[in-house]
Amino acid sequence: MGSYLIRRLLIGIPVLIGVTLINFLIINLAPGSPADLYLTPTSTSADVARVEAELGLDQPIFVQYFHWLTRLFHGDLGVSFQNRAPVTELIGERLGPTLLLMGTSLVIAYLVAIPIGILAARKKNSATDYSVVGASFLGISVPHFFLGLVLIYVFALELGWLPTGNMITLGRGGGFADRVNHLILPVAVLATATAANMTRYVRSSMIDAFGQDYIRTAKAKGLGRSVITSKHALRNALIPVVTVIGVDLSALIGGAIVTEQIFQWPGIGLLTIQSIGARDYAVLMGINLIAAIAVFGANLLTDIAYAVVDPRVTYA
């Protein structure tokens, strides 16, 4: 297992470098330049050149990338073009809220999805099962922005129970209850899609497990239904479920960008949207790197989890 992990991590380095290179090229392909933001209607082309030189944008694109990469190996992601703050600092202060939002959503999604999926599988082809399948289909189909706006309209504007956005109520310190209040709607949006997807996975892999010979063996032993479900079927059903957690996490990162924007949640997602608007390449590159590491880490964790739940899988 140890040597396997080391090998995986070593393979990860060139993969991550490749990802950042592709990102760098794509960002630079976009029309416009960060220098545009510094311009006033009276700026001359000499002014543009000066700003570009200051930001290092006058150099060939591969030289720029090389500079970025060299700084990266010194733990420096550069400075924001927009406000000259170090990128690491900008990302650092936004990371916490995003992790809070994504973590809570993931935990709640699984807490909802696993029992519902099991229930649907046990009552296969019943009214309960059909409602679960229908609801999860709806949950997967509805876009984040639409669900978010509906929730804001109903719970914030019409009923006035919950805040429309942000992480804390400004000027009121932001205690625990206040934070929870602000979390509810964005978590509901993010968790819905994840839970809906996961419910379908749990349901189908539980149905699959229930049809296996070893379940018949367990019944032939006289075991009760709950033991058969929780011990014999669920352990096996989790094996395919675990493999989609990595995929889920990637989808969650995408979902978080939209959700944070709708709810003005001060996380990485909001920073991303703001940086795109400002053509802040330095920040975008930093965010991309973090996202790539997160996806890479999630897949590695998936592989480890796979070996943990399935004794037949060993890595050497």
Partner 1 sequence: MTAPLLQVRNLKKYYPIRKGVMARTVGQVRAVDDVSFDVYPGETLGIVGESGCGKSTTGRAILRLEAPTAGSVLFEGTDIATLSAGTMRRLRTDLQMVFQDPYSSLNPQIRIGDLLAEPLIAHHRLGRAAAHARAAEIIQVVGLPKLYLNRYPHELSGGQRQRVGIARALMLEPKLIVCDEPVSALDVSIQAQVLNLLKDLQAEFGLTYVFISHGLGAIRYISDRIVVMYLGKVMEVGTTRAIFAGPRHPYTEILLDAYPEANPHLRDRPRIIVEGDVPSPAKPPAGCVFHTRCPSAQAICRTEIPQLTSDDHPVACHFPLSASKTVEAVG
Partner 2 sequence: MSSRKYDWIGTLGTIWATAISHLPWRIRLSTTPELLQVRNLKTEFSTDQGAVTAVDEVSFSLAPGETLCLVGESGSGKSVTALSIMGLLADNGRVAGGSIRFEDQDLATLPERRLRAIRGNSIAMIFQEPMTSLNPVLTIGDQLSETMILHLGLTKAQARERVIELLTKVGIPRAAEVVDDYPHRLSGGMRQRAMIAMALSCGPKLIVADEPTTALDVTIQAQILKLIRDLSAETGTAMILITHDLGVVAEMADRVAVMYAGQVVEQADVFTLFDEPKHPYTTALMRSIPHLAGPAGERLTAISGSVPSLAQMPTGCRFHDRCPQAMDRCRDDRPELLQLNGSPDHTVRCWLYDVPVAKVLP
Residues forming the site for partner 2 (CB under 8 A): 212-214, 216-224, 231-232, 235-236, 239, 309-312
Q: 27 is in the binding site of which of partner 2, partner 1, none (Cβ under 5 to 8 A by kind)?
A: none
* Residue 15 binds partner 1 (CB under 8 A): no
Task: In angstroms, give the least distance from the CB of 315 to partner 1.
Answer: 10
Task: In angstroms, give the least distance from the CB of 237 to partner 2.
Answer: 10
Tell which one of 11, 22, 53, 293 touches partner 1 (CB under 8 A): 11
Task: Give whichever of 10 and 159 is closer to partner 1, judged by the CB atom.
Answer: 10
Task: In angstroms, give the least distance from the CB of 316 to partner 1.
Answer: 7
Dihedral sign for Cα atoms in the order 14, 17, 19, 21: negative
Task: Give whichever of 4 and 155 is closer to partner 1, judged by the CB atom.
Answer: 4
| Measured distance CA(8)–CA(6) in Å, rounded | 5
| CB neighbour list of residue 177: distance below 8 Å, 6 or more residues apart | none
* Residue 314 binds partner 1 (CB under 8 A): no
Tell which one of 29, 46, 170, 316 touches partner 1 (CB under 8 A): 316
Tell which one of 7, 67, 123, 216 touches partner 1 (CB under 8 A): 7
Q: 217 is in the binding site of which of partner 2, partner 1, none (Cβ under 5 to 8 A by kind)?
A: partner 2
* Residue 85 binds partner 1 (CB under 8 A): no
Task: Give whichever of 7 and 221 is closer to partner 1, judged by the CB atom.
Answer: 7
Q: Which residues are near partner 1 by CB under 8 A? A: 7, 11, 316
